[in-house]
Amino acid sequence: MNLNNLNRVNLQTGLIDGHVHLSEIEHPEKAVENAVRAGVKQMVAVAMNLDSCRKTLVLADRFPDTVLPAIGYHPWSIKAEEVEDTLIFITQNIHRCVALGEVGLDYKVKVKKKLQKAAFSKLLNLAVKSNKPVIIHSRFSYQRTYEMAVGAGVEKAVFHWYSGPVDILDNIVASGFFVSATPALAYSPHHQAAMARAPLDRILIETDAPVQYGDRVSEPADLTETLFHLSRIKKMPEDKLAGIVTKNAERFFGL
């Protein structure tokens, strides 16, 4: 795939990257600069563990107009001996953030399901209590993450990079939740099918940078790639689509 077509369209509205691991990017300052040049006006920086929660908050302080922080505990990062300290930090700092994330379940990693579910459950309760939207990782755990979000009484959730079954997608949408699209739209049939089916008013766009798509490490400037592929799937011009997904992100994150 081609990730080099930056500034392909002159957008009326700036874009919002709904999910980037800015703390994992080698040169975050440069990445922010490139993104702004490509038409990305804001980005939601998510976190994985205690270390990246701290780094994410520092980056948000450094770029207060552009970087909106989210803190969380990614299922890949969960370690029994670190759960307590991580949850305490998140509880104490969530008020500084636009969302809780990245949190969720991943049934393909070795971290024990019981441990994942216990942490996710506490995090969902925190989101409800602090009235924050939740950014959910649901790989191979689509049904369970959905049930847990509904069970906890979560009102705002985005199932990030959703590539699961379409019947669960229909339930996600019926519950008022969102899904988000990544540059994997270029090649992933499951992700394409989900985005073709999801209603336009429930889609956010993101990069999940620095995830590697094809042979290239991504950065938030590649959000234009997500927009490009989504516009093909939705058969809608990029500038019009940009206006819609940016409004969605503003509504979802309360900007």
Sheet holding 157-159, edge to edge: 15-20, 40-45, 67-71, 99-104, 134-137, 157-159, 178-181, 203-205
Q: Which is nearer to Zn ion, 11 or 191 (CB)?
A: 191
Minimum gap (Å) between residue 39 Cβ and Zn ion: 22
State the nearest-atom distance from the C-beta of 12 to Zn ion, in Å.
28
Q: Which residue is nearest to Zn ion (CB)?
A: 208
70 Cβ contact list (under 8 Å, min separation 6):
44, 45, 46, 47, 56, 97, 98, 99, 100, 101, 102, 135
Closer CB to Zn ion, 208 or 238, in the complex: 208
> Which residues lie across from 43 on neighbouring strands?
17, 67
In the complex, what is the shortest distance from the CB of residue 218 to Zn ion, in angstroms, rounded to a whole number? 11
Nearer to Zn ion, 102 or 225 (CB): 102
**Nearer residue to Zn ion within complex by CB, 164 or 238:** 164
The minimum distance between CB 150 and Zn ion, in angstroms, equals 22
Q: In 21-89, where do the E strands start and end?
A: 40-45, 67-71
3-state secondary structure 159-200: ECCCCCCHHHHHHHHHCCCEEEECHHHHCCHHHHHHHHHCCH
Q: How far is the CB of 102 from Zn ion (least distance, A)?
A: 5
Q: Which is nearer to Zn ion, 46 or 186 (CB)?
A: 46
Other beta carbons within 10 angstroms of residue 140's beta carbon come to 14
> Which residues contact Zn ion (rule: CB under 5 A)?
102, 208
